[in-house]
Amino acid sequence: GAVVSQHPSRVICKSGTSVKIECRSLDFQATTMFWYRQFPKQSLMLMATSNEGSKATYEQGVEKDKFLINHASLTLSTLTVTSAHPEDSSFYICSAPPGDRPHTDTQYFGPGTRLTVL
């Protein structure tokens, strides 16, 4: 099956710093990638839809200036948490449907990145 990787798997940073999380599709091209956030014991909440070659689409309530998304190639999307604060501590997960099969009925999820802001 299709594989999606994320890097890093875990990051701890100081308040006020910026953190970049990478999401890669390893064996397929993805014109669309999704970024989710999961707080402890809560649901996965969609943050934004990343589109290759164009601007990301953000969900209501998500600050686009704080969560910068770049989808520069068909295999890589990055999420940068700018000026991170402790309330940004969460589990961030990306997903992608295989671009060569855009009408496939599932998305493939990355393993997630645990962000802890001190």
The verdict on 46 binding another protein (CB under 8 A) reads yes
Smallest separation (angstroms) from another protein to the CB of 10: 8
Q: By C-beta, is 15 or 104 nearer to another protein? A: 104
- Taking phi over 0 as left and psi of -120 to 50 as alpha, with beta for the rest, 88 belongs to alpha
Interacting positions 66-105 with another protein (CB under 8 A)? 91, 93, 95, 97-98, 101-105
Q: By C-beta, is 16 or 27 nearer to another protein? A: 27
Smallest separation (angstroms) from another protein to the CB of 44: 4
Q: By C-beta, is 17 or 106 nearer to another protein? A: 106
Smallest separation (angstroms) from another protein to the CB of 16: 26
The verdict on 19 binding another protein (CB under 8 A) reads no
Smallest separation (angstroms) from another protein to the CB of 47: 10
Helix (H), strand (E), coil (C) string for the chain = CCCEEEECCEEEECCCCCEEEEEEECCCCCCEEEEEEECCCCCEEEEEEEECCCCCEECCCCCCCCEEEEEEECCEEEEEECCCCHHHCEEEEEEECCCCCCCCCCCEECCCEEEEEC
